[in-house]
Structure formats: C-alpha cells, structure tokens
Amino acid sequence: MKVDQISVFLENKPGALAEVTRILGESGVNIRALSLADTKDFGILRLIVNDKEKAKEVLDRKGFTVRKTEVVAVEVPDRPGGLADIMRILAEADINVEYLYAFVQQSGENAIIIFRFDETDRAIAVLSEKKVRILEGKKVYTL
Amino acid sequence: MIWNEEFETLPREALEALQLKRLVSTLERVYATVPFYKKKFDESGVKPSAVKSLKDLQRLPFTTKSDLRDNYPFGLFTVPLEQVVRIHASSGTTGKQTVVGYTQRDIETWSEVMARSLAACGVRKNDIIHNSYGYGLFTGGLGIHYGAEKLGASVIPMSGGNSKRQVIIMQDFGSTVLTCTPSFALYLAEVAAEMGVDFKKLKLRVGIFGAEPWSERMRDEIERKLNIQALDIYGLSEVIGPGVSIECIEAKRGLHIFEDHFVPEIIDPQSGKVLPYGEKGELVFTTVTKEAFPLVRYRTRDISVLYPEPCKCGRTLVRMERVSGRSDDMLIIRGVNVFPSQIESVLMNVKGVEPYYLLIVDRKGNLDTLEVHVEVNESLFSDEVKDLQALGRKIEKEIKDLLGVTAGVKLVEPKALQRSEGKAQRVIDRRKI
C-alpha cells in the first residue's frame, strides 16, 4: 500500500533543479509526481518516478544526496469537499500530515494526492477502514 | 622500529649537550655569513659567544616569515649558490613565496629524518609507498621520496591529482603505505567507493598524513574508511620540509621532534615569552645542523604543546601535540578568538557530519558574521524541511555553547566543498576593515 518517494537535497541556486531533471530525462526516468519544498538556503525535491532504483542510482552517481521515503497515494474524489472529507478522517484519528502534494495525472474520475504521514501504517489502516481508496506503488509508478 | 637508535634514544643530558654544541656553531656561522643575522644579533646585544646554555637561546631575536620575504630569494643562505643542490619554495598565498635551499649534506639530513619518520610509523624495506604528496616546489613529495629511498622501501612517485588512476595503481601495485594530506586520503576513499573498489581488500596498512591541520575524529574516520593505521607527520619547508616530527605507531600520542637537528620552543604568540612544557602556544624552531638555510628561532605560527614525558616507544625525544591551529589563522569574530580547528571539532562531534567545512567571515554593517557551510550527506538528509532546519540550529547552538560565537549554518550539497590535494581552503574572510 506504500509508495516509494525519492527526495533530493538541492542548494538554493540557479540551475540546481534543471540539472536533476536533465539527469533523469537523459536516463529515461519519467517523473510521475513532484513537489519542491524550499527555504532561504536549500530545497528538498520530492519525486515519484517510474523507475526509482534507476533514478537513485543516476543521481547518486552525480553526487546528489538522495533518500527513499515511504509515502501513501490516496484517491480523492474530484468534487468540492473531496479532500476535506479525507482530511477530516485523518484529523479525527489524530494523524499528522507532514506534507502532501497532488499527482499530475488523474486516476479515472479521481485525483491522486501523495501524503507523507508521521505514522504511515496507522494512517493506511484508518483510511482503509473508511473505504478511502489507496493506490498500490506498482500502479502509481506506471500510471 | 627505531631507525637511528643512537640519536633517537639519547639520554636527555647528552642530547642537550649535543644541541648546545651544534647551536653555538650554527649561531657563529649565521653571524659571520648573513648580514641579516649579524644586524639582528648586534641590535639585541647578544653575540653568539654569549650563548653558554640552551636557555640563552631565549635571549636571541625571532625570525619571522616576513624576514624571509624581505630577504627573497636567497638573502638568508649561508653558503654560495654553487654549494646549493636543491631549491624549494613554499606556497605563498599572499605576497612573495619563501625560498629555501639545501646543500648535499642538508639533503642527507632531510633523508635521515624522513627515514626515521617512516620507520617510526612501522614502514619497512619491503613496503610499497604510494606517495601522493605533490612533487615540485612543495617539499612534501620529494621529502617523503628521499626518506623512502634511504629506508630502502619502494616508492611510487604519484604526486597529487588524477585520483582514479591513484586508486587503480594502489590496487594493481599493492601499495602498503599511503602518504598524502588527510583530506586527500578521504577523497581517495570516496573516489574508490564510486569506482566500486573496496579499501578493505587493498594491501594498504599505514597512512602518513600531514601538510594541513586535522583532528582525532578525522583520524578515526580515515582509519575506518581506509582500514589502515593513520599517523601524523609534521614539517615545514622553512625548517626542512616533512620529517621535523612524527608520531610513533606504538603510542600515536604526540609527534616526536628530531631534537638533534631541530630545537623547539613554545612561546606566547602575543608577548613572545617562552612557555613551560605542557602549555599551549606557538611553536618556534632553531635548526642546528642545516648548512644552506639555517634558521634561528623561527616563528612557525603553528599552535601546539610540548610534552617531555618519556614515550613507550623508547625515544627520548620531546613530543609535540598535533598542531591545533595557526596563530595567524585565528579569527577574531566580534571580539572572540576562534580557530577554524575548533569549529571543525564541533562539527566532528555531530553524528554524520563529514570533516569538510567552509567558514565565511563577513561584516554586515559594523557586525562580524560567521557562516559555516556543512555538507548534507545521506545520513544527515531528511525529506522534511523541519529536520534539516533542526540540524542547522543544533550545529549553531553547539558552536555558540562551546566557542561563544554566533554562527549561521548553511547546508550545502555533498562535494560542494573542497577536497584538497594540497592545502584545503577552509576560511574565506570577506571583511574589509
């Protein structure tokens, strides 16, 4: 039920993001979803890709600091209040969301949101119980 | 192993008698042949003949780096150039280089102290020495080289650079001893890892590192990553080059100074007063056997401590503590004295931090600022901003608590900071005062 996300440490300087995307592009790695968290000095690029092993390997080789983290891909009904329902379920269960971002593509009628929880396993259990659809990693990488 | 049992284990009294005899003869020679020394001795009112004990050395004036520059290039040589067989120069980052010369006998003396140094690190005739110190004007490469040949070991004159080739040669030739700067050793470990070469499978067993300040933590890291014993060597071209002092593999605590050739003192860098054994201050050397370029009370700017206690290796030579900084590297930040080595030891105590850093000192308005660049490697990295910010704040707090100075930590990408093949630049001072 979990999805592997790749995070890359970037200095806050022109061209940093361009280099990562160029390296991935040249290696034939396709980016499925991404978000960039930035501060004054540095940024953290988070990616869901079609080939995570390859992405980590090529970025490692170019000297980037790369890390894998487990996140959860949740299907959210594409209608007003769709995300609010899910957030309410999580709030009631007292589950903290570290960050979230949206997928570039839809899954049928639904949007896909990537969640990073502090308690990943409990979050999956709570969401599944409430019949929220969670996507398998395999499906997410090839969407 | 002790290379020269007779001189390295002399009873202190005999050693001091020998030093005095050699000192007086050096003083007489420089007074007679070098106008600079004659003028300085005359001004201080101490003639060489007035030196009756080693303690009298304290009455003589110091020689400084700027004296060397003022007499550029050959003004302090005591012999005509026709007797000089080698000239080296030290990397002058500001102003002129300092130039040193050697007679044939000086080269022999240098080879002797280097052979002693290698032997003290457990190097033998059947070792293969991979010498990655730079060959050229820098004394590192040729100094090690001549000592290695005198010892009878096989020396590979690698010089710096071309790190992939270095790893291949180390692997193919079966190098057993590595000599280079400590940061280059760690850099080679990184290069080897990228190439898929496992240092644990190499024949390397000893590393002899110097030419830049390093720490115990860095020693641990080198020993772990390269699977070797790492030892500290000290020297400076003005005194002779590498081989002024060396750690012994038996104790690995302090570097034995070859006092039959170099007489050490520790002084207070501000007042110039000689400090007793055990107190921290600036190292001063007088050479007592050199022919072409003797030095009297040369201020090295290196900060150390002298320990006279006998060592378990059997040498009677005094030991100096690993150099912990340079008196002219000392940064004064908002009135607080800070040595870059102190920042380094704070960083080394934060789990996962690599021993590479860059200090940027600037002045904003009338206030000094200190920025510390730290590399984010895989073990420090988190996908969450708050974790990385907490890491930065933790380092800032440690620096504040231990050194009393406010610093800003900037996290940078790995390998953004210099791995040196010579001396790494660790400080950029942008203050225009």
Same domain, A80 and A49: no
Q: Name the stretches of chain A with pLDDT < 50.
A: none
Please indicate whether, in this complex, the C-beta atoms of B414 and A61 are within 8 angstroms of each other: no
Return the pLDDT at B93: 47
Same domain, A124 and A109: yes
A120 shares contact with chain B (CB less than 8 Å): no
- Nearest CA to CA, how far is B182 from chain A (Å)? 21
Q: What are phi and psi of B385, to 5 degrees?
A: -55, -40
What average pLDDT is seen over chain B?
92
Contact B79, B68 (CB under 8 A): no
Same domain, A55 and A112: no
Residue B421 has pLDDT above 60, yes or no: no
Same domain, A82 and A130: yes
Please state, in angstroms and rounded to a whole number, the distance separating the CA atoms of residues B251 and B255: 10
B196 shares contact with chain A (CB less than 8 Å): no
B379 shares contact with chain A (CB less than 8 Å): no
Same domain, A79 and A130: yes
Same domain, A64 and A112: no
Residue B420 has pLDDT above 70, yes or no: no
Pick from A69, A89, A118: which residue ends a domain? Answer: A69
Average pLDDT estimate for B324-349: 79
Q: How far is CA A62 from CA B22, B77, B316, B404, B413, in A?
A: 57, 51, 51, 38, 11
Domains contained in chain B, CATH given: 1-328 (3.40.50.12780), 331-429 (3.30.300.30)
A116 shares contact with chain B (CB less than 8 Å): yes
Residue B3 has pLDDT above 70, yes or no: yes
Mutate: best of A65, A68, A120, partner B, most B CBs <10 A: A65
Residue B314 has pLDDT above 50, yes or no: yes
Please indicate whether, in this complex, the C-beta atoms of B378 and A99 are within 8 angstroms of each other: no
Say which residues have a Cβ less than 8 Å from residue B264's Cβ, sequence separation at least 6: B257, B283, B284, B285, B306, B318, B320
Of B194, B383, B414, which has the smallest distance from its Cβ to A7's Cβ? B383
Reading phi first (left if > 0) and then psi (alpha if -120 to 50, else beta), residue B339 is in: beta
Q: Which of B58, B180, B80 is nearest to B129 (CA)?
A: B180
Q: What is the pLDDT of residues B48-103, one digit of tens each?
A: 999 999 999 999 999 998 899 899 999 999 999 999 999 999 865 445 788 999 99
Same domain, A64 and A97: no
Return the pLDDT at B237: 94
Return the pLDDT at B353: 86
Average pLDDT estimate for B333-355: 81
**Which residues from B are below 8 Å from A66, CB to CB?**
378, 381
Please indicate whether, in this complex, the C-beta atoms of B378 and A63 are within 8 angstroms of each other: no
Q: What is the pLDDT of residues B362-376, one digit of tens each?
A: 988 778 889 999 999
Is residue B45 helix, strand or coil?
Answer: coil
Contact A71, A131 (CB under 8 A): no
Residue with tokens 């004296």: B67
**Polymer length in residues for chain A:** 143
ipTM of the complex as predicted = 0.86
Return the pLDDT at A56: 94
Return the pLDDT at B71: 94
More confident residue, B337 or B259: B259
For residue A117, the cross-strand partners are: A97
Task: For residue B431, name the pLDDT band (cuts at 50, 70, 90).
Answer: confident
B393 shares contact with chain A (CB less than 8 Å): no
- Nearest CA to CA, how far is A3 from chain B (Å)? 14
Pick from A69, A93, A110: which residue ends a domain? Answer: A69
Please state, in angstroms and rounded to a whole number, the distance separating the CA atoms of residues B190 and B415: 10
Same domain, A26 and A75: no
Please state, in angstroms and rounded to a whole number, the distance separating the CA atoms of residues B84 and B91: 21
Please indicate whether, in this complex, the C-beta atoms of A63 and B385 are within 8 angstroms of each other: no
Return the pLDDT at B402: 85
What is the pTM for the complete model shown? 0.68
Say which residues have a Cβ less than 8 Å from residue B40's Cβ, sequence separation at least 6: B61, B63
B383 shares contact with chain A (CB less than 8 Å): yes
Return the pLDDT at B95: 56
Same domain, A116 and A101: yes
Q: How far is CA B106 from CA B25, B84, B190, B409, in A?
A: 16, 9, 38, 47
CATH number, domain containing residue A131: 3.30.2130.10
Q: What is the pLDDT of residues B253-289, one digit of tens each?
A: 999 999 999 999 999 887 899 999 999 899 999 999 9
Please state, in angstroms and rounded to a whole number, the distance separating the CA atoms of residues A14 and B286: 53
- Nearest CA to CA, how far is A7 from chain B (Å)? 6
Question: For residue B143, what is the enclosing H or E element?
Answer: helix B139-151
Task: For residue B430, name the pLDDT band (cuts at 50, 70, 90).
Answer: confident
Return the pLDDT at B154: 98
Of A42, A46, A64, which has the smallest distance from its Cβ to B383's Cβ? A46
Pick from A69, A84, A107: which residue ends a domain? Answer: A69
Residue B23 has pLDDT above 90, yes or no: yes
**Which residues from A are below 8 Å from B411, CB to CB?**
9, 11, 41-42
Q: How far is CA A50 from CA A19, A53, A56, B114, B203, in A?
A: 19, 9, 12, 58, 42
Return the pLDDT at A136: 87
Host domain of residue A107: 70-142
Domains contained in chain A, number: 2
Same domain, A36 and A50: yes
Looking at residue A44, its amino acid is: I
Same domain, A10 and A42: yes
Residue of B nearest to A43 (CA): B385
Please indicate whether, in this complex, the C-beta atoms of A9 and B385 are within 8 angstroms of each other: no
Return the pLDDT at B4: 96
Residue with tokens 């903290």: A96
Residue B133 has pLDDT above 80, yes or no: yes
Please indicate whether, in this complex, the C-beta atoms of B384 and A116 are within 8 angstroms of each other: yes
Return the pLDDT at B91: 61
Return the pLDDT at B336: 76
Same domain, A59 and A122: no
Contact B301, B65 (CB under 8 A): yes
